[in-house]
Structure 1
Amino acid sequence: MTHEIRPALTSRLTGADLLRWYWRKDELAEFARQLNIRATGGKELLTARIAAKLDSVPFPEPQSAKKSNGTQLSGPLTVMTVIPQGQRCSQVVRAWFIEQVGAAFSFDAEMRAFFSQSDGTQTMQDALDHYRATRDQGAKPIDPQFEYNRFTRAWHEANPAGLREDLLGDWHKYRRLPLDQRARA
């Protein structure tokens, strides 16, 4: 199998060319600025926006997430505290959770989703119950935009005693390949 070389990010690429390769988010953001398009958003959104620009097709920007009503919890919090719609995963909320469950608490995907979907009727007790119900469920799928994390998990499963240097070497080889030539784990 011949190994292709990843092309440079230039306006001569097509959207399909862009989508065949691994790009870091900082590379994509810089390229978007060169193309005079928005350089914000997650890696998947940024990639889709650039691919549309390269192919000279319109890109419908996604609608913003629901807006906060401006009210944010400021404490002191209790289990009866109602969570306002649009509540952020703030330091006040984090501190309350640490008091309840200990220093190991963090806002993982499950908890961020709970707060982002809050409609103003849930309480901190509901949030605490959700936190406890979503623990110890084993390894959760890693979203595609976190490709390095996905690669790392698969690599460690295949190489349990592997060294970090070997992992990084394999990662660099892997990410230099176009997507259609990568072995999927």
Structure 2
Amino acid sequence: MNGRPNLDKQLSGKTFCSFYYLKEELVDFCRENKLPTSGGKIEITERIACFLDTGEVLPVHTKTKKPSNIDSILDTEKIEPDFVCTEKHRVFFKERIGKSFSFNVDFQKWLKENTGKTYSEAVSAYYQILEEKKKGKTAIGKQFEYNTYIRDFFANNAGKSLEEAIQCWKYKKSLQGHNRYEKSDLIALL
């Protein structure tokens, strides 16, 4: 046999398995032959091989989700050292804060820096972090000088474009010294 054969009912399972087919080709074959299309590529391949050899349709393997045995966290419990965001923590915070809760970077940082404080204090800190974000000026990490520069550029130059901000940033970083925005950087736009 020269080249890859078309995927059709005339193939044997062995021949079919000796060639590479894209998953979308496998799914198309399944649809044409009324086979289930669910599952990963390996499962679909096994289903097609069995069908080609025997005409039988293998049942779909369904995974039953195990009920989660998540221990609950008490408000008075202390944040553990080396805090790691887990499903148990997510459940706790969603119960206290609501469905909109997410482990944002600032909150994760707070949790890691406040070992020994209670989870009740963590909930309060989450709301405080959200309030600070609403006020606008959240801290940008020291390593993100570009982001800080661009934010400060726009804070001082309403109506200027991102291209102009980038032009000033390139000028600034070519100079010796700090990389914080200064009004004098606008010389780069002349």
Q: When the two structures are superposed, what TM-score results if normalisation uses the length of structure 2? A: 0.44
- Between Structure 1 and Structure 2, the one with more helix by share is 2
Query: Which protein has greater RCO, CA pairs closer than 8 Å, 6+ apart?
Result: 1
Query: Which structure has the bigger radius of gyration?
Result: 2
Q: When the two structures are superposed, what TM-score results if normalisation uses the length of structure 1? A: 0.45
